Structure 1
């Protein structure tokens, strides 16, 4: 239990520092002083600062999604609205820590953090989405389709966080929902030959 408490203190301290400062200005000394632990403890838990940045970002991202999945049992008549509502809640939680996400994805280890965020969102699409069954039935590998969708919505959301003042939270949520639904309906979960044939007869 002591190790879990130490990790949590370090992650909390890392998040507090990243809320206020660019990661390039943060040192191990800063983190351990904030957390009240030793340098050897930090290295035993994380190894490197970029690893610590990545874990703190993933923990906060997981918190943003907590309790907001839309299950496969949601009736189709409610699916779009429920998805938009869930996305709006998630985006609102992300917006509360806007500069944290901007800083971590631009700082040391930012590429790894972005890749980890995409993998996290892809996993949510595979296992916590009403579209999971359709994606599983599709002709393309499930990991590829969910990663492609996750990369698109992750980039779109990060771009919005980086330059706020354009779309509202609800507008962005509706756009993300539309992209996911349209990609699955006749797209990533459909047969391309059937889709082309359908267009020819329209």
Structure 2
């Protein structure tokens, strides 16, 4: 196995473990057992556990950005539903990692992971602006979209922990939230487009 492939294998092992428990509860021993490698081999690729945790969580954020990129053709609402479904899929796949990324006070949080989360948020805003055909958004529209991304993050955190809402209803409900928020904003800013 090439060095890059081995490194990716260790990250995959960590992410697999994050699927069943919080990243801060996963040890080096857990990871080397899952990856079927020795401790010295682990330390050849990562100087410590924290470095691997950060790299693994950056993989989650890259997956979220890739999930956002999965736009379908059609009207803005259809395209955004597909993007939100992509986010839900990635958040669900990396449940514990996603929760650790967004949970306030997580021991895994670093300036690097915070920057990666901001990149996901910014990509979500860009995606919506593109779907709406807006190249120069007003400050109020930007504020609305940033608030909506916070709604999505909060909803996904709750859904991942409680599963009280059927998955099939989640994407439509979140896009409907955006539609209502845009309507409310348009009442205060005539430059704000409506979803159609």
For the criterion TM > 0.5, the same-fold answer is yes
Q: 1:163: Cα distance to partner?
A: 1.2
> 174, 177, 185: which is aligned to 1:176?
174
Q: Which runs of 5+ in 1 are unaligned?
A: 196-202
> Displacement of 1:177 after TM fit?
0.6
Shift of 1:16: 1.4
Unaligned runs of 5+ in 2: 192-196
Partner of 2:149: 150
C-alpha distance in 1 between matches for 2:127 and 2:77: 18
User: What is the match of residue 22 of structure 2?
Assistant: 22
Describe the SS at the equivalent of 2:46: helix
Judged with a 3 Å threshold, the aligned counterparts in structure 2 of structure 1 residues 160 and 132 are, in CA distance, closer, same or farther, namely same
Closer, same or farther: CA 38–193 of 1 in aligned 2, 3 Å: closer
Deviations 1:76-98 (A, max 9, x none): xx432443354345424533444
CA distance in 2, matches of 1:7, 1:142: 42
Distance 1:66 1:154 in 2: 13
The answer to whether the Cα contact below 8 Å between 1:58 and 1:116 also exists between their aligned partners in 2 is: yes
User: TM-score, normalised on structure 2?
Assistant: 0.68
Residue 162 of structure 2 is matched in structure 1 by: 163
Aligned length: 184
Q: CA separation of 1:30/1:173 partners in 2, compared to 1, >3 Å: closer, same or farther?
A: same
- Give, in angstroms, the shift of residue 158 of structure 1: 1.4
The verdict on how the C-alpha distance between 1:146 and 1:34 changes in structure 2, with shifts beyond 3 A counting, is same
Q: How does 1:2-81 map to 2 (within 5 A)?
A: 2-35=2-35, 36=37, 37-43=41-47, 48-62=51-65, 65=67, 68-70=70-72, 74=74, 78-81=75-78
**1:55-134 correspondence runs (5 A):** 55-62=58-65, 65=67, 68-70=70-72, 74=74, 78-88=75-85, 90-103=87-100, 105-106=102-103, 107-110=106-109, 113=113, 116-127=116-127, 130-131=130-131, 133-134=133-134
Calculate the TM-score normalised by the size of structure 1.
0.66
